Amino acid sequence: MKNRTSLLIISLLTLQYLSACSLSIGNFSENINRAVKANNDPQTVMQGLPTYLILLDGLIESDPLDEDVLIASSRLINAYTGLLGSELEMLGEGENEYQKEKIKQQIKKLSLKALERALKANCLYEEYLCDLNTIKYAEFEIRLKNIDEDDIAMLYSLGTAWATWLQANSGDWNAMAQLPQVKLIMETVNEINENWDNAGAHMYLGVLNSLLPSNLGGKPEQGKKNFESAIKLTQGKNLMAKVLYAEYYARLTFNEDLHQRLISDVLSYKEQHHEFVLLNTLAIQKAKALQLSAEEYF
């Protein structure tokens, strides 16, 4: 899988997590969450998050079986990992190879930690959510049929942590063989509540379905539907949905007109919505990079 795919998924995770409703351990966490979502300076956020990561590590040391703290830690690690992915992407080709490799290794280490904590939290939450990364796919399907609205937050957090870990290990075919499980998690979330996390599951599926052309097993037309659903459900406020639509579907199908329209929409957007400030700041950065490379690509 291409390196840009790894960076994309990781960047998507960042922003979806930071714009999600739950780093919810009391009022302090909620206040941190709101402040992060409304911040238009990703660098400042990235510098500040490690302090909170260490705080959650301390809480887990005192009570390693607290599922709420475990899942909050997993989510925050993913958020920080996503910001690292964005920083890596901004370095570009051929720039500071030592620094890029250092960031890649940090992402690998953190993504494993986030996945392990999400798996443990899910198992503590419900017994049938234990060992989801080791059971056979047929059994995995059966267990996910038990999921209802009350379970979405926990399951979705596992799915996104799992996706981050997979992309950090995209060169390992044994790891990538677990991609269908991640996809099924997102499809399950959509079946129950497609509005969850600002249509986050649609965005993940849009990317996953648009990784390959249809003649190689991809499902780009389904990916198109997922992206358009994400845009519609968020009333166009989530600019990252349009950026990913351009990067993955429009480029895969060489649809230059669609690509230009989506990028223009993002770069001309003037409104500021509290819950999307950080997400949209990164989306605009990414849109500018896509615009610069469009002439060469098409």
- Confirm if 89 and 11 have CB atoms less than 8 A apart: yes
Find, among 183, 283, 192, 189, the residue nearest to 237 by Cα. 283
Residue type, 90: M
- Confirm if 265 and 227 have CB atoms less than 8 A apart: no
Mean predicted confidence (pLDDT) in 231-235? 96
Q: What is the tens place of the pLDDT at every residue in 287-298?
A: 999 999 999 999
Q: What is the pLDDT of residue 176?
A: 85
- Confirm if 118 and 158 have CB atoms less than 8 A apart: yes
Residue 48 pLDDT level (bands cut at 50, 70, 90) = confident
Q: What is the pLDDT of residue 160?
A: 93
Mean predicted confidence (pLDDT) in 101-108? 93
Q: What is the pLDDT of residue 28?
A: 57
Residue 240 pLDDT level (bands cut at 50, 70, 90) = very high
Does the pLDDT at position 8 exceed 70? Answer: no
Q: What is the pLDDT of residue 25?
A: 55
Mean predicted confidence (pLDDT) in 80-109? 84
Q: What is the pLDDT of residue 94?
A: 65
Does the pLDDT at position 234 exceed 80? Answer: yes
Q: What is the pLDDT of residue 38?
A: 73
Question: Residues near 271 by Cβ (< 8 Å), separated by ≥ 6?
Answer: 237
